[in-house]
Structure 1
Amino acid sequence: MEPRPFHRGPGRVILLNGASSSGKSTLAKALQRTLGEPFLHVSSDQFVATGMLPDRREESGPFNWWSQMRPRFFAGFHRCLPALAEAGNDLIVEHVIEFPAWRDELARLLAHLDVFLVGVHCDLDELDRRERARGDRRMGEGRSHVEENLMHTFGPYDLEVDTTAGVSATLADSVLTAWRNRTVPRAMRPGPAAG
């Protein structure tokens, strides 16, 4: 007989928002290692890495990535987050919130949950350097998130960190200290404060 899972109520969410190559994954892993409780590390890159997306891409029609597949993919990704948390999972989510509408959508979907929103900043030249070193990103992608999408202007954060010099244990500890001392209301909530 399969044991019944212990239901502990909705999980808590630490949401890291930053440009591509800004150090979100490194910070998420550092937080996950440091926390004394199990937190799931969730990102859209992990979904993509499973091979779930079709290889076929076309300029128009249903296989057009930008106008057809991508909007539905991210709408689904956003809806996965409350489902995971509502099942009692604590989450560290890394995301590139590229549009004010995405932030608004996340604020609505996560409104009933304990969400701590962290802005992850990194010097633009360092973003470029990391993209060159990684070799798996479009050059200028991270820079465009900051300069063109203006991702850090869509609303306030509960905490902002700079990962230009990397993700040290001290930086990870500062995030956890701020998270443990969080107060309400917080930055990620529906309405005018959500962008």
Structure 2
Amino acid sequence: MEHLDSVPERQGLVIFLNGTSSSGKSSIAAELSAILDEPCFHLPVDAFHAMRSNATVPPDRLGTVLHRTWRGFHRAVAGMAAAGNDVVVDHVLSAEWRLRDCLSLFDPRHVVLVGVHCPPEELARRERERGDRPPGLAARQLEQVHSHGVYDVECDTSRATPRECALLIKEFLANRPTPTAFERLGAAL
């Protein structure tokens, strides 16, 4: 058993999958978790929402509760990476403040921002098939989710399988260029 004082310091890598609901982020994350060389944690924002108790939240407080959940999620991801863990994040940057918050918390040199794209017709089909999301949710998110326009790597889940997308991302990791998308976005704000 290693002594804690002998564990080398390292900053974990954050592979940040950004796309609308039903775009395929969770499926890509599962594939990445299976093929990455280093151990990693898949942290989907939906898991944080699922951990919340079933206490009734009055409608006038729901926005505040959701905002605190997202802020806590960002800080949990930053903490895991700061402790040296690689993290695959499954998130929807459907509000500008979310991106700004992540930019303020994550080490931008150690973030790979992945654009997960899918055409509106396919998103609508997936929503109908899933049946667990409000119809039109992905379409409402589409404009804002990719509005920042800068990615390290992008994939289209209507043209590539989750496995193919994961392999593309893994291949990209071997030769990450600088500055990263997070570095460029941080400099622009």
Q: Structure 2 length as normaliser, TM-score?
A: 0.90
5+ residue gaps, structure 2, are none
User: Is 1:86–2:82 an aligned residue pair?
Assistant: yes
Query: Number of residues paired by the alignment?
Result: 186
The aligned runs of 1:1-195 (5 Å cut-off) are: 4-5=3-4, 6-50=7-51, 52-60=52-60, 64-66=61-63, 68-111=64-107, 114-147=110-143, 150-165=144-159, 167-189=161-183, 191-193=186-188
* Deviation, structure 1 residue 113: 5.0
Change (3 A) 1:125 1:112: closer
Q: Distance in 1 between matches of 2:48 and 2:162?
A: 27
Change (3 A) 1:111 1:168: closer
* Deviation, structure 1 residue 181: 1.2
Structure 1 stretches of 4+ with a deviation exceeding 6 A read: none
Post-superposition CA distance 1:20-47 (Å, at most 9, x none): 0000000011111111221110011112
Q: Is the 8 A contact 1:17 1:24 kept in 2?
A: yes
Letter of the aligned partner of 1:65 in structure 2?
L
The RMSD of aligned alpha carbons is 1.9
Greater helix fraction, Structure 1 or Structure 2? 2
Q: Is the 8 A contact 1:18 1:120 kept in 2?
A: yes
Q: Is the 8 A contact 1:13 1:113 kept in 2?
A: no
Q: Distance in 2 between matches of 1:188 and 1:35?
A: 21
5+ residue gaps, structure 1, are none
Letter of the aligned partner of 2:50 in structure 1?
A
Q: Is the 8 A contact 1:23 1:166 kept in 2?
A: no
Post-superposition CA distance 1:76-103 (Å, at most 9, x none): 1111111011111111111001122211
Change (3 A) 1:188 1:49: same
